């Protein structure tokens, strides 16, 4: 059940608000709060570039309606169980760490390839992929269903498959316009948080489910 009082509910509302502000103030939101490569870049009277707050604010902006809809659907589907096991405070730390590490990894990658063009990164995918990794670690044998194609599989297989696919596409550039390294960075942040919490959280998950 969707509850605004949960961290998952708060994040969904915050992302919807961010997307709404993009529709009202598209240039202001994009130029100031999306994640830009390191440095300053000029296009006529417009100057854009990296600012520290973009590491977090970019995680509440989206490129279009399908983009935010898919991210929020995944957050809703997987985040609720993860939050119930970890607790709201720990879940908030996990999501925040995933957004931060996803943004840092993406910043490093795009800043090394500015000769290919200056394009901002935006989207909650780093945080969502962190939640997905946490779900796979906490409930490895839970049966989940892919949307396309509709194939049931254990959660750990889904997570491992997504991680391998993101790495392959990121390295070989087979899907342009997608922040694959932000996704991988988000999974890294979630792993670090779960590792620092130790085995207690994993045991709690297996006791509850």
**pLDDT truncated to tens, each residue of the chain (209 aa)?**
555 579 999 999 999 999 999 999 998 899 899 998 887 776 667 777 889 999 999 999 998 899 999 899 989 999 999 999 888 999 999 999 999 999 999 888 887 766 556 788 898 999 999 999 999 989 988 888 776 667 788 888 888 877 777 666 655 554 455 677 788 889 999 999 998 887 666 666 555 55
Give 143's DSSP letter. Answer: E
CB-based contact 132:76 (threshold 8 Å):
no
CB-based contact 132:189 (threshold 8 Å):
no
- Residue found under tokens 């590490």: 101
Nearest-5° angle of CA 160, CA 162, CA 111? 115
Task: Spell out the domain ranges in the chain.
Answer: 7-208
Alpha-carbon distance 128 to 150, whole Å? 20
Residue 182 tokens read as 């932000």
- The CATH class, in words, for 7-208 is mainly alpha
């Amino acid at each position: 059940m969707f509850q605004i009082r949960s961290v998952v509910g708060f994040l969904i509302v915050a992302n919807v608000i961010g997307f709404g502000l993009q529709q009202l103030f598209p240039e202001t939101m994009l130029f100031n709060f999306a994640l830009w490569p390191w440095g300053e870049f000029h296009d006529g009277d417009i100057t854009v570039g990296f600012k520290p707050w973009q590491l977090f604010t970019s995680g509440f902006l989206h490129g279009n309606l399908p983009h935010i809809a898919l991210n929020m659907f995944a957050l809703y589907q997987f985040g609720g169980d993860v939050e119930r096991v970890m607790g709201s405070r720990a879940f908030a730390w996990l999501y925040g760490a995933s957004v931060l590490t996803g943004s840092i990894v993406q910043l490093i990658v795009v800043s090394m390839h500015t000769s290919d063009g200056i394009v901002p990164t935006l989207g909650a995918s780093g945080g969502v992929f962190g939640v997905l990794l946490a779900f796979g670690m906490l409930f490895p044998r839970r049966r989940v269903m892919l949307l396309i194609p509709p194939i049931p599989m254990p959660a750990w297989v889904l997570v491992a498959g997504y991680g391998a696919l993101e790495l392959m596409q990121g390295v070989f550039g087979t899907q342009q316009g997608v922040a694959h390294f932000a996704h991988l960075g988000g999974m890294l942040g979630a792993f670090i948080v779960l590792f620092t919490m130790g085995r207690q959280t994993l045991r709690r998950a297996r006791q509850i489910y």
